Amino acid sequence: MVPDDDKAGLLTTGSPSDNRPGDSNQLISGFEPVGVEAGAPAAKAAADQPAAGEVDYSVSGGLANRLAKLNVSLAFTSYQSGLLYFIGRNAQGGVNIHQAGMPKPMGLCLDDRGGLTLTGDYQILRFENVLEPDQRVNNIFDACYVPRTVHVTGRLDAHDVGLDGEGRPIFVNTRYNCLATVSARHSFEPIWRPPFVSALIDEDRCHLNGLAMEQGRPRYATAVSRSDTIDGWRDRRSDGGIVIDIDSGEIVCTGLSMPHSPRLHDGKLYVLNSGTGELGVVKPGDGAAGSFEPLVFCPGFLRGLAFHGGLAFVGLSKPRYKRFEGLALDGKLKAADSEPWCGIQIIDLATGTCVDWLRIDGKIGELYDLEIIPGFACPMAVGPTTNEAATLITFAPDG
């Protein structure tokens, strides 16, 4: 969907540099955001990430007010940039972007206890907000997510992640075509794989990627195909995509193009049909597989989906054409006379229109997952291998 508001809002960006603990309102130095005009280059960038001038951010004029009215902020991942981003509000009434370096960040999940779980490279990480309600980092950030639990899994190409009723991370182990959880001894503990995959084997056969959780248990999964041969999914990108009922093992939707991010919301199963650029719902079939009903076209390869009330927050990426060429998305973009986006669009589900947006241009073109962070105006995070993680010490008051 093309945004209906092209007015840009005030934008600030910031990323970590160093860390020296201070008092409760000045916990970390080096996290001061830098003010820039909307659409201008970010003035800072994390180490080893795209430099200032290589990435431009712009936002719709109403985004800050919408975040304030909803009392939420946003988080999203980009494995391409190696950054976890937080979109919040600044003191000037505009939008603030905080970015923290992470190891190939992919799936992202906010749980009922307020923690963030992230799949990243060879790790599953859980972050905790270490701030009390009256505390701030540099008098700006009202939440500070610090890695507290790190599971070393090896490189499993882990995609989506959720938490079960016992608090265990359940993640899509794409390399081994299964859902898995962490193990005290091994790289992972397999808990489910599609019935059409004949063995637990180190071959990405169907490109299992998406996970929908329901009341603390895995409920639906997406795959690019039902292939049972190594790398077979690449030959089925246009129309081999499926949604699988994890409880029964039945395929509940077929004919999709590289589907991602299945999510349950308001009694409906939503999915991103990435290869066509469409957000839609799965309509149950009568004794057979259901069908995909597209609701909105967004100009990009879609990954990352979250909901708040009647709004859908959708992540858009620019397609990697060497790998994804020939998809229906190409024709849809041409018909709409549109270039592919990288960023986030907020869709009003009642009208099917984009009501606010954030756009990224330049060196960053691919996002993966996103989450809504309720109750915080301006959150930030600390990367697991940074000086900040090594020197930031927090503890509960004595007595």
The pLDDT score that the predictor gives to residue 299 is: 97
The pLDDT score that the predictor gives to residue 322 is: 58
Question: Could you tell me the pLDDT band of residue 57, with boundaries at 50, 70 and 90?
Answer: very high
pLDDT exceeds cutoff 70 at 290: yes
Domain assignment present for 318: yes
pLDDT exceeds cutoff 60 at 380: yes
Domain assignment present for 1: no
CATH number of residue 125's parent domain: 2.120.10.30
The pLDDT score that the predictor gives to residue 150 is: 96
The pLDDT score that the predictor gives to residue 45 is: 34
pLDDT exceeds cutoff 60 at 29: no
Region 121-144: mean pLDDT is 95
The pLDDT score that the predictor gives to residue 124 is: 98
Q: In terms of pTM, does the model score above 0.85?
A: yes
Region 204-215: mean pLDDT is 97
Residue 234 buriedness (CB in 10 A; 0-12 / 13-18 / 19+): middle
Number of domains in the chain: 1
Domain assignment present for 5: no
Lowest mean pLDDT, pick from 89-98, 282-291, 351-360, 386-395: 282-291
Give CA torsion, residues 318, 324, 328, 332, to 10 deg: 20
pLDDT exceeds cutoff 60 at 4: no
The pLDDT score that the predictor gives to residue 357 is: 98
Please state, in angstroms and rounded to a whole number, the distance separating the CA atoms of residues 313 and 132. 28
Domain assignment present for 79: yes
Q: What does the block give as tokens for 397? A: 């008051």
The pLDDT score that the predictor gives to residue 340 is: 94
Region 296-300: mean pLDDT is 97
Domain assignment present for 138: yes
The pLDDT score that the predictor gives to residue 21 is: 29
The pLDDT score that the predictor gives to residue 33 is: 40
The pLDDT score that the predictor gives to residue 151 is: 97
Please state, in angstroms and rounded to a whole number, the distance separating the CA atoms of residues 322 and 318. 12
pLDDT exceeds cutoff 90 at 280: yes
The pLDDT score that the predictor gives to residue 298 is: 97
Task: Encode pLDDT of 384-399 as tens digits.
Answer: 999 999 999 988 887 6
Lowest mean pLDDT, pick from 96-105, 317-326, 347-356: 317-326
Task: Encode pLDDT of 184-200 as tens digits.
Answer: 999 999 999 999 999 99
Residue 398 buriedness (CB in 10 A; 0-12 / 13-18 / 19+): exposed
**Secondary structure tally for the chain: helices H, strands E:** 4, 28
Please state, in angstroms and rounded to a whole number, the distance separating the CA atoms of residues 77 and 304. 9
Region 150-177: mean pLDDT is 97
| Between 286 and 130, residue with greater pLDDT | 130
Region 280-305: mean pLDDT is 91
The pLDDT score that the predictor gives to residue 22 is: 30
Q: What is the mean pLDDT of the chain?
A: 88
Domain assignment present for 296: yes
Region 212-230: mean pLDDT is 97
The pLDDT score that the predictor gives to residue 159 is: 98
Domain assignment present for 398: no
pLDDT exceeds cutoff 50 at 25: no
Q: What are phi and psi of 275, to 5 degrees?
A: -70, -10
Region 353-367: mean pLDDT is 96
Among residues 279, 278, 76, the alpha carbon closest in space to that of 270 is found at: 279
Domain assignment present for 3: no
State which residues form the domain around 192.
11-391
Q: What does the block give as tokens for 38? A: 């909307």
Region 137-156: mean pLDDT is 96
Instruction: Tell me whether strands 379-381 and 143-152 are parallel, antiparallel or unpaired.
Output: parallel
Contacts of 232 (CB under 8 A, 6+ apart): 205, 206, 225
The pLDDT score that the predictor gives to residue 203 is: 97
